[in-house]
Amino acid sequence: MSERPDITTRADCEQLVRAFYSRAFLDELLGPIFVDVAKLDLEAHVPVIASFWETILLGARTYRGGAFRPHVELHMQVALTREHFLRWLELWFATVEEHFEGPAAELAKSHANRVAGAFHQRLEQFDVPRAAPADG
């Protein structure tokens, strides 16, 4: 069995992010959110998210954004449920484990778990527009 490298460079972060989104865009649950609702421009998004992970995993301090606000904006368009976050984690963990192993890879999984839990909890506090019930 070949040993996978750990995440040690920005290029590794970009590889991880691209591999994750290649899965997520095709996923039945998450794909429509990324493609149809968020209309995510992958080439614009990858450097930003790679900077997020480079900052978390490698201490690079290249990420200057706020990760939560875009999720609130998306949540106001389509309610992001516990199932969405669980699926995101499932795909993220599988992607990390397929490409990397080691302390930074483990941190990528544990930090994702914390962020997903915190974001889900915070998003539940927002009133999401719901479709009006049909008159019967």
Task: List pLDDT tens digits, range 71-83.
Answer: 888 888 988 999 9
CA distance 115 to 131: 28
Copy the structure tokens of residue 84.
């969405």
Asked if the model's pLDDT at residue 132 lies above 50, the reply is no
Q: Which fold has domain 10-123?
A: Globin-like (1.10.490)
- So what's the pLDDT on residue 25? 97
pLDDT band at 130 (very low <50, low <70, confident <90, very high): low
- So what's the pLDDT on residue 120? 93
CA distance 43 to 85: 23
**What is the value of pTM for the model shown?**
0.87
Asked if the model's pLDDT at residue 94 lies above 70, the reply is yes
Give the tens place of pLDDT for each residue, 27-81: 999 999 999 999 999 999 999 999 999 999 999 988 887 888 888 888 889 889 9
Question: Are 96 and 62 spatial neighbours (Cβ–Cβ below 8 Å)?
Answer: no
Domain ranges of the chain: 10-123
Task: Tell me how many helices (H) and strands (E) the chain has.
Answer: 6, 0
